[in-house]
């Protein structure tokens, strides 16, 4: 389908981009276009102006420091895949990104676009919530930092104001000995997940500590599953603990019942994927 008519601007600075958003109430930022262009083609949005972010300098860097991993809003999926440092600096992120779409899409889709689009089945927003990431947004009133759990307010909904642009996602530092796994189920490789589980824990005195378990695809809210985390915290990761944690995860979520899958199927997927992820995390050499 042909796109609706719109004006196009490619500002050279962040300030100029924000000015354009302030001046045009129905303008939308354009990053990789891998979600926005299909949205326009389906006539789900008809902005008067697209503000292309590609010429704004400084948004495409991946930084590693004692503060963690900073991903600029214009960092693409293929940039994350190509950055060998991330295999050790944040293996959960590096692994999850390989599940996103297909290479042509991964060569254009960006961190900022995915975070702002806030699809509950998308890998990066799920990793952001699971890892307690922070998102920096800049608007007419300056910059603010938002915890991922407060940023995503519902399916495809965020706490961003119209004039605010995501500039960076920051993941906390990742200890080398951490146990982790990402598991998802999609009908075909590259499709959005019907359900996915991202998890990690640290081992202290032989038991799991600091357990983080997040779900994508199977729930209307991007969330950590506190009930499942509580089952595993303080326990040895053995077969009984894995089963009970997986059952707690499945019981705690409120899965969508829609054309893609019935709620009961998604709930069963969450139990299976949680158990699979915990087994994989426990079996990895630390
Ligand atoms: C066939 C197909 C399969 C896909 N499969 C997956 C998948 O399995 N997993 C997955 O996660 N994604 C998937 N995607 C989506 C893809 O990852 C997108 O690239 C991503 O969701 C959006 O990134 P983008 O840079 O393309 O953003 P755009 O499409 O340019 O923008 C998306 C939205 O974010 C807004 N926006 C963009 N940048 C900013 C910013 N810096 N600040 C504020 N708002 C901003 C735009 O206005 C728009 O509303 C798929 C896409 C396609 C076409």
Instruction: Say whether pLDDT at 284 is over 90.
Output: no
Read off the pLDDT of residues 260-282 as tens digits, 9 standing for 90 and up. Answer: 999 999 999 999 999 999 999 99
Residue 33 CB–ligand 1 contact under 6 Å: yes
pLDDT of residue 187: 93
Residue 36 CB–ligand 1 contact under 6 Å: yes
- Residues of the chain above pLDDT 70, percent: 99
**Confidence band, pLDDT 50/70/90 cuts, at residue 2:** confident
Q: Are 14 and 51 in contact (CB under 8 A)?
A: no
Residue 117 CB–ligand 1 contact under 6 Å: yes
Instruction: Say whether pLDDT at 125 is over 80.
Output: yes
Residue 28 CB–ligand 1 contact under 6 Å: yes
What is the atom index within ligand 1 of the atom nearest the CA of 28? 47
Residue 154 CB–ligand 1 contact under 6 Å: no
The residue whose C-alpha atom lies closest to atom 50 belonging to ligand 1 is: 101
What domains can be seen in the chain, in order of their start residue?
A: 7-51 (3.30.43.10), 62-171 (3.30.465.10), 179-283 (3.30.390.50)
Of the chain, the end-to-end C-alpha distance in Å amounts to 51
Structure token pair of residue 106:
């991964």
The residue whose C-alpha atom lies closest to atom 2 belonging to ligand 1 is: 101
Instruction: Say whether pLDDT at 69 is over 80.
Output: yes
Read off the pLDDT of residues 104-116 as tens digits, 9 standing for 90 and up. Answer: 999 999 999 999 9
The residue whose C-alpha atom lies closest to atom 32 belonging to ligand 1 is: 113
pLDDT of residue 256: 85
State the residue for tokens 């007419």. Answer: 140
Q: Are 145 and 172 in contact (CB under 8 A)?
A: no
Q: Are 194 and 186 in contact (CB under 8 A)?
A: yes
Residue 73 CB–ligand 1 contact under 6 Å: yes
What is the atom index within ligand 1 of the atom nearest the CA of 35? 29
CA of 254 to the centre of ligand 1 (A): 25
Residue 158 CB–ligand 1 contact under 6 Å: no
Residue 216 CB–ligand 1 contact under 6 Å: no
What is the average pLDDT score of the chain? 96
Instruction: Say whether pLDDT at 285 is over 80.
Output: no
Residue 56 CB–ligand 1 contact under 6 Å: no
**Confidence band, pLDDT 50/70/90 cuts, at residue 232:** very high
What is the atom index within ligand 1 of the atom nearest the CA of 112? 41
What is the atom index within ligand 1 of the atom nearest the CA of 193? 8
pTM above 0.85, yes or no: yes
Residue 27 makes CB contacts below 8 A (sequence gap 6+) with: 20, 21, 47, 48, 49, 50, 51
Residue 94 CB–ligand 1 contact under 6 Å: no
């Amino acid at each position: 389908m042909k796109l609706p008519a719109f004006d196009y601007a490619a500002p050279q600075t962040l300030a100029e981009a924000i000015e354009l958003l302030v001046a045009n109430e129905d303008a939308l930022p354009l990053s990789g276009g891998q979600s926005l262009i299909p949205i326009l083609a389906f006539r789900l949005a008809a902005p008067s102006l697209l503000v292309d972010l590609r010429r704004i300098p400084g948004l495409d860097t991946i930084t590693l420091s004692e503060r963690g991993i900073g991903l600029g809003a214009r960092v693409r999926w293929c940039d994350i895949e190509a950055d060998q440092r991330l295999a050790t600096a944040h293996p959960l992120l590096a692994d999850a990104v390989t599940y996103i779409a297909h290479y042509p899409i991964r060569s254009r889709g960006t961190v900022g676009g995915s975070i702002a689009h806030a699809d509950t089945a998308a890998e990066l927003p799920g990793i952001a919530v699971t890892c307690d990431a922070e998102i920096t947004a800049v608007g007419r009133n300056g910059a603010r930092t938002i915890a991922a759990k407060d940023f995503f307010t519902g399916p495809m909904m965020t706490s961003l104001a119209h004039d605010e642009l995501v500039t960076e996602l920051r993941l906390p530092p990742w200890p080398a000995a951490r146990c982790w796994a990402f598991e998802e189920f999609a009908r075909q490789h590259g499709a959005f997940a019907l359900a996915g589980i991202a998890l990690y824990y640290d081992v202290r005195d032989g038991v799991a500590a600091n357990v983080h378990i997040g779900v994508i695809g199977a729930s209307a809210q991007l969330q950590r599953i506190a009930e499942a985390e509580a089952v595993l915290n303080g326990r040895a990761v053995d077969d009984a603990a894995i089963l009970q944690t997986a059952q707690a995860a499945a019981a705690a979520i409120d899965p969508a019942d829609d054309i893609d899958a019935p709620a009961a199927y998604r709930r069963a997927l969450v139990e299976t994927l949680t158990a699979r992820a915990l087994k994989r995390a426990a079996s990895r050499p630390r």
